[in-house]
């Protein structure tokens, strides 16, 4: 059985385990040929089925803002033909949008999700007395 380059499982028969490995920073996010199409689909889903495709729990804002900030620094550095940074703004060159990083127009994770093809998920430990029913 051949394993995909970024396949998250080790492929051993009858024993699925996470095949986690360290990635180089330049490999974190890829911009592929269908980048525009992916972002159009994502934008459409957020407009038409928002509550089915996006969720964030109260208390996750700081962690989500950190993800947005890391991406806003990472993307122009590794994909300068798609992104530029101008002070506290990220410019997405594909559609010439300007994103205010200090006061994002949407939830920070939703903004970040409109920049990359990958799905984003922030996980953090819940307080011991938290309701697990989500």
Task: State the CB neighbour count (10 A cutoff) for residue 116.
Answer: 21
Phi and psi at residue 89, in whole multiples of 5°?
-130, 145
Q: Measuring CA to CA, how many Å separate 130 from each of 13, 107, 127?
A: 37, 22, 5
Distance CA 26, CA 123 (A): 22
Delimit the domains of the chain by residue range. 61-122
- Which of 129, 120, 124 is CA-nearest to residue 55? 120
Judge if pTM exceeds 0.85. no
Reply yes or no on whether the pLDDT at 119 is more than 70: yes
Host H or E run for residue 85? strand 83-86
Which tens digits make up the pLDDT trace of 17-50?
A: 666 778 888 888 988 889 999 999 999 999 999 9
Which tens digits make up the pLDDT trace of 58-112?
A: 989 999 999 999 999 999 999 999 999 999 999 999 899 999 999 999 999 999 9
């Amino acid at each position: 059985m051949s394993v995909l380059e970024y396949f998250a499982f080790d492929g051993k028969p009858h024993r699925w385990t996470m095949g986690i490995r360290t990635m180089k920073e330049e490999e974190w996010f890829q911009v592929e040929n269908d980048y525009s199409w992916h972002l159009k689909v994502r934008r459409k889903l957020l407009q038409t089925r928002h509550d089915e495709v996006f969720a964030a729990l109260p208390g996750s804002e700081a962690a989500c803002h950190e993800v947005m900030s890391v991406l806003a620094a990472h993307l122009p550095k590794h994909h300068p033909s798609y992104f530029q940074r101008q002070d506290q703004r990220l410019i997405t060159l594909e559609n010439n949008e300007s994103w205010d990083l200090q006061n994002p127009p949407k939830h920070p994770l939703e903004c970040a999700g409109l920049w990359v093809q990958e799905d984003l998920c922030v996980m953090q430990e819940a307080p011991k007395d938290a309701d697990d029913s989500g």
